């Protein structure tokens, strides 16, 4: 088997597996259907683009299809950005305004119409032979790179904002899942630089063996990263929980001049009332407690409660609630009459729903593991 046939086989296997993943995501039964469809479309567009690695020469009999395949790349970064939105925000829905994202794809196809789609084969070939020297083609190359940068930077910002809102408004958020989404965004962003290297090598050396190996590396890296990400998602049931898009970080809600306010007597009373309520009513025992739930119980507007906790008490809602859970867990762990309870039973009893989250929070608050704390207490 020569090198081309080996690379051809490797590319074919990678493309087939990506198509298979996309098909699985489109057909699997889940309540997160929109997210699955968007990531499936992202994978599909990447696989369609990668088909070019399976051919040595231009398929003359299918020039129109090949030209249309060129335009698919203009949907790739937009589809990933929409996927990120669908994961981060529970109330995300596709709307007519999102059709604006396909404008570059439509524009590029309009450009191909007069040069390829509606002319005879000799004219098609003549157009293709000179396409890379055309200013319009160079403009579309720069447009793709610009769009890629914009969409992925926007994805980073959405994930960061979602994580901040999650910590300020929810308890027991599975931050590891948002971190996984952030990591895969970084990985896809870095993989794009392999594409840029491929373009540079092609420009300097032309299509050859070096380019072929770079293509193979790119394909395998993309496949590996995608499989890792999907396995992470499948192993985390709360992966698509998301936050409500109307929620904003506290720094966007409160005027800048109040960033470091002096706590007055009124705020002190509100803080004391909140602390007493948490101790007496123990709302933190509800593992699904959100800031909206607590605001309703203490009869305080959500915005005011969020300000009180995040700004005046200088704590995330996540940390504020978990401190009470840890205190409750410490009482149980130190109680000889409850020594038969396992750590797992205790963490569920005090409002946690994840062993890793409980252990992390407990050690952060006490400097010890729950098991070590129990040994010392008893």
* pLDDT tens sequence across 194-225: 777 777 776 666 566 676 677 667 667 766 77
Is there a domain that residue 37 lies in? yes
Give the per-residue pLDDT at 101: 96
The answer on 275 and 189 residing in a single domain is: no
CATH number of the domain within which 181 lies: 1.20.1070
Give the per-residue pLDDT at 217: 72
Is there a domain that residue 203 lies in? yes
The answer on 271 and 215 residing in a single domain is: no
Eight-state DSSP code of residue 298: T
Domain assignment of residue 368, given as a range: 250-377
Residue 243 phi/psi, 5-degree rounding, is: -125, 170
* Residue 41, token pair as written in the block: 């479309």
pLDDT in tens, 56-109: 666 667 889 888 999 999 999 999 999 999 888 878 899 999 999 999 999 999
The answer on 111 and 188 residing in a single domain is: yes
* Cβ-contact 43, 75 below 8 angstroms: no
CATH number of the domain within which 307 lies: 1.10.10.60
Contacts of 290 (CB under 8 A, 6+ apart): 169, 170, 171
Give the per-residue pLDDT at 259: 46
Separation CA 206–CA 198 (nearest Å):
10
* Cβ-contact 273, 298 below 8 angstroms: yes
The answer on 223 and 117 residing in a single domain is: yes
Give the per-residue pLDDT at 260: 47
Give the per-residue pLDDT at 358: 87
Tell me the pTM.
Answer: 0.71
Which stretches of the chain drop beneath a pLDDT of 50?
A: 239-240, 256-260
Is there a domain that residue 244 lies in? no
Separation CA 135–CA 341 (nearest Å):
73
Query: How many domains, in total, are found in the chain?
Result: 2
């Amino acid at each position: 088997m020569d090198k081309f046939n080996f690379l051809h086989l490797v590319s074919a296997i990678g493309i087939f597996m990506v198509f298979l993943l996309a098909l699985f995501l489109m057909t699997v039964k889940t309540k997160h259907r929109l997210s699955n469809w968007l990531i499936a479309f992202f994978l599909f567009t990447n696989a369609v683009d990668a088909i070019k690695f399976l051919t040595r020469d231009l398929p003359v009999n299918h020039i129109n299809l090949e030209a249309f395949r060129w335009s698919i790349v203009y949907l790739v970064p937009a589809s990933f950005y929409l996927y990120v939105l669908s994961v981060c925000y529970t109330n995300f829905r596709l709307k007519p305004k999102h059709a604006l994202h396909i404008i570059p794809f439509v524009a590029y196809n309009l450009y191909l119409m007069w040069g390829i789609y509606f002319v005879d084969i000799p004219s098609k070939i003549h157009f293709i032979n000179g396409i890379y020297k055309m200013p319009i083609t160079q403009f579309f190359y720069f447009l793709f790179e610009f769009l890629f940068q914009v969409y992925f930077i926007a994805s980073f910002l959405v994930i960061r904002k979602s994580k901040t809102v999650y910590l300020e408004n929810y308890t027991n958020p599975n931050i590891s899942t948002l971190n996984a989404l952030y990591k895969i965004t970084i990985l896809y962003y870095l993989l794009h630089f392999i594409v840029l290297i491929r373009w540079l090598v092609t420009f300097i050396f032309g299509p050859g063996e070096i380019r072929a190996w770079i293509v193979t590396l790119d394909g395998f890296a993309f496949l590996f990263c995608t499989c890792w990400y999907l396995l992470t998602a499948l192993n985390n049931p709360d992966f698509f929980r998301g936050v409500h898009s109307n929620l904003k970080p506290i720094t966007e809600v409160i005027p800048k001049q109040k960033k470091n306010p002096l706590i007055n007597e009124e705020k002190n009373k509100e803080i004391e009332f909140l602390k007493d309520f948490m101790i007496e009513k123990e709302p933190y025992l509800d593992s699904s407690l959100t800031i909206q739930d607590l605001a309703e119980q203490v009869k305080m507007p959500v915005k005011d409660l969020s300000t009180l906790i995040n700004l005046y008490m200088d704590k995330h809602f996540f940390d504020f609630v978990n401190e009470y859970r840890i205190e409750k867990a410490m009482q149980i762990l130190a109680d000889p009459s409850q020594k038969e309870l396992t750590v797992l039973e205790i963490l569920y009893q005090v409002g946690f729903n994840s062993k890793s989250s409980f252990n992390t929070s407990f050690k952060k608050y006490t400097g010890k593991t729950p098991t070590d704390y129990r040994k010392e207490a008893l």
